Amino acid sequence: MNGQNQENLKELFEQFLAPEQAAIAVEDMLKAEQILRENPAPEPDELLIADIKWQIEEALAARKPAWNFRSIAYRVAVAAAIIVVAAIGTRFLLKGREDAGKTVYASIIPRAIWDTDDITTADAELATLTAEIQQVEDEVLTLELGERHGNGERAVAELEMQLIAINSNFWEG
């Protein structure tokens, strides 16, 4: 320790101790520093290092099947979301083809919907789509609760983006 550092250390100790005690504390620090320099820490044994590495590898190998299960679960959830989106799209396309050649002279909104306050239960197709959207939301929630790191966050984010797309496409018509 150089002279400037010793002086700074002494000033620091004097803020908490009497000047004589501060000088003794600085001397103790210098002696402790000298002892540490003269007696470096021993290097760890090569066998100990190898044993630690082996234990780490064993622990990682034991956790690997759990990651594979999570990966499969995420893929199944993503596939289910894609199937729901495809089913909704197909339903709208088929309905559009059926009504393409017909001229309709009726109200756009059925009378049952006008007479009720709960639109989702009055319209059967809307109730089905709402239930499918709820199912996808439940799957996303399940994934969020079961995973906090790794590739799971990306899968959850993708599912959330698909859910947002489903909701926005549904309400756009």
Biggest CA-to-CA distance, the chain: 105
pLDDT at 108: 58
Which pLDDT does position 56 carry in this prediction? 86
Ranges in the chain, pLDDT < 70: 1, 63-68, 96-123, 146-155, 169-173
Going from the C-alpha of 107 to that of each of 66, 104, 167, the distances in angstroms are 55, 8, 25
Q: What is the pLDDT of residue 106?
A: 52
- Give the Cα separation of 11 and 26 in Å (integer): 10
Sorted by where each begins, the domain ranges of the chain are 3-38, 46-172
Q: What was the pLDDT predicted at 112?
A: 57
How many residues are given for the chain?
173
Q: Which two tokens stand for residue 98?
A: 């059926």
Extended strands (E) in 22-147: none
Q: What is the pLDDT of residue 117?
A: 64
pLDDT at 24 (0 to 100): 92
Question: Whole-prediction pTM value?
Answer: 0.28
